[in-house]
Amino acid sequence: MSLKKAVLRGCGAYLPEKTLSNDDLAKMVDTSDAWISERTGIRERHVAADGERTSDLAVEAARAALTAAGMGAGDIDLIIVATATPDLTFPSTAAIVQGKLGVRQGAAFDIQAVCTGFVYALATAEKFLASGQHSRALVIGAETFSRILDWTDRTTCVLFGDGAGAFVLEAVEERAAAGRGVLGSELRCDGSMVDLLYVDGGVSATQTTGHLRMQGNKVFREAVTRISQAMETVVEKAGMAMDDIDWFVPHQANQRIIQGVVRKLGLRTEQVISTIASHGNTSAASIPLAYCAGVEDGRIREGDMVLFEGMGGGLTWGAALMRA
C-alpha cells in the first residue's frame, strides 16, 4: 500500500476581541511592561469574552481555514482539536466543534499535550491521512488559558493568552503532492517532569478546574536543548539539513527560548515567524496562529519548507517538518 501525503490546503486564525496589555496587568499584579517585554517578548494578549468557549474560538478558526481551502463541512472526515482547556470534561471539544460546523461524517477527538498539542495533532492527522483511513482533516489548536490562570500570580498570569488556529489537510497521492505535505514529526514526553508545569485541579484529583502552576525557570532550562534536538532529528530523518529550512514557526512561549534555538541551530532571525508580542503564549493555538500570520503577510508561500516546534506540560515536546 502506497502512503499518501498530508498536504495543507488552507489555514485560519481567530483571536478574541478583547486585549490585555502589559500595562493593564501592572494594575492587577506587581509587574511592569519592562519586566514582561524584556523577559518574554510579550506586549499584549487576547482574552475570551464571558461565555466565549474554546469551541467558539475553534469554530471561527476552522471556518476561516475551510474558506481558505475552498472546502465546506461536507468535505471533512476528521477533526482533531489540540487543547488543554476543553469546554467540558466530556464530550471532546472536537465533537462540539464538529456539531457546530455541521460536519456529520468521520471522526472527531481531542489531543492533550498542552503547548505541544498542535505538533502532536499534526503528527496524528498525518498518520490518519497517509494511511488512507481519512481524506480531509481539520487540525485545530484552541485555548482559553485565561480560565485556568491564577490572576494573582504574577509569575504565570502575564504569560498566556487565548486564541485558535486551524489547518485543513488533504490526503494526496505522493506523485500528485509533488514534494508537498507533512514530511515528518518527532514527538517526545518525559513524565518525570510533571511537577514543572501543571494545573492543580482536575476531575479525578480534586473535582475542580484548578489553576496553572509553573516553575518557569526550570522549564526554561530544559527548553532550548530538547526543542533543538527534536528539530535536528526531524530534519535529519527527512534527509535534509537546516539550510533547507525556509521558515521556522515555533511555539510562542518566550522570545528568549526562540532566540536560543535559532542560535543553537544556525537559523537566521528573519526566518522566524513570531507573534509572541501580540498574542502571548496561546499554548496549542500558538503554532497555527503564527503560521497563518506568516501566510497572511505573504512570507510563507506554497512550496516553502517549514519547521515547527513545541514544548509544554508533561513535559512534552516535539517538532514537525512540512513543505507548504
Site stretch for ligand UT7 (CB under 6 A), options 96-104, 202-210, 240-248, 249-257: 249-257
Which residues in the 99-128 window bind ligand UT7 by CB under 6 A? Answer: 115
Is 281 annotated as catalytic? yes
Rounded to a whole number of angstroms, the minimum distance from the CB of residue 4 to ligand UT7 is 32
Q: Which is nearer to ligand UT7, 15 or 115 (CB)?
A: 115
Which residues in the 18-37 window bind ligand UT7 by CB under 6 A? Answer: 31, 35-36
3-state SS string for the chain: CCCCEEEEEEEEEECCCEEEEHHHHHCCCCCCHHHHHHHHCCCEEEECCCCCCHHHHHHHHHHHHHHHHCCCHHHCCEEEEECCCCCCCCCCHHHHHHHHHCCCCCEEEEECCHHHHHHHHHHHHHHHHHCCCCCEEEEEEEEEHHHCCCCCCHHHHCCECEEEEEEEEEEECHHHHCCCEEEEEEEEECHHHHHHEEECCCCCCCCCCCCEEECHHHHHHHHHHHHHHHHHHHHHHCCCCHHHCCEEEECCCCHHHHHHHHHHHCCCHHHECCCHHHHCECHHHHHHHHHHHHHHCCCCCCCCEEEEEEEECCCEEEEEEEEC
Among 253, 276, 307, 322, binds ligand UT7 (CB under 6 A): 253
Q: Does 261 bind ligand UT7 (CB under 6 A)?
A: no
Q: Which is nearer to ligand UT7, 152 or 269 (CB)?
A: 152
Contact 54, 144 (CB under 8 A): yes
Is 115 annotated as catalytic? yes
Q: Which is nearer to ligand UT7, 155 or 209 (CB)?
A: 155
Site stretch for ligand UT7 (CB under 6 A), options 151-159, 165-173, 258-266, 293-301: 151-159
Q: Build a one-symbol-per-residue string for 155-184: x at contacts with ligand UT7 by CB under 6 A, - elsewhere.
A: x--x--------------------------
Catalytic residue among 11, 115, 157, 292: 115
Contact 285, 165 (CB under 8 A): yes
Output the residue with the shortest Cβ distance to ligand UT7.
216
Rounded to a whole number of angstroms, the minimum distance from the CB of residue 36 to ligand UT7 is 6
Contact 164, 141 (CB under 8 A): yes
Report phi then psi at 243, rounded to 5: -65, -20
Q: Does 311 bind ligand UT7 (CB under 6 A)?
A: yes
> Cell numbers 496549542 label which residue?
284
Q: Under 8 Å CB-to-CB from 144, ≥6 apart: which residues?
A: 48, 52, 53, 54, 57, 85, 162
Which residues in the 51-80 window bind ligand UT7 by CB under 6 A? Answer: none
Q: Which is nearer to ligand UT7, 4 or 154 (CB)?
A: 154
Among 22, 40, 55, 255, binds ligand UT7 (CB under 6 A): 40
Q: Does 281 bind ligand UT7 (CB under 6 A)?
A: yes
Which residues in the 191-220 window bind ligand UT7 by CB under 6 A? Answer: 216-217, 219-220
Catalytic residue among 22, 134, 281, 292: 281
Interface with ligand UT7: number of residues (CB under 6 A): 20
Is 292 annotated as catalytic? no
Binding site for ligand UT7 (CB under 6 A): 31, 35-36, 39-40, 115, 154-155, 158, 216-217, 219-220, 223, 253-254, 257, 281, 311-312
- For the annotated catalytic residues, the residue numbers are 115, 251, 281
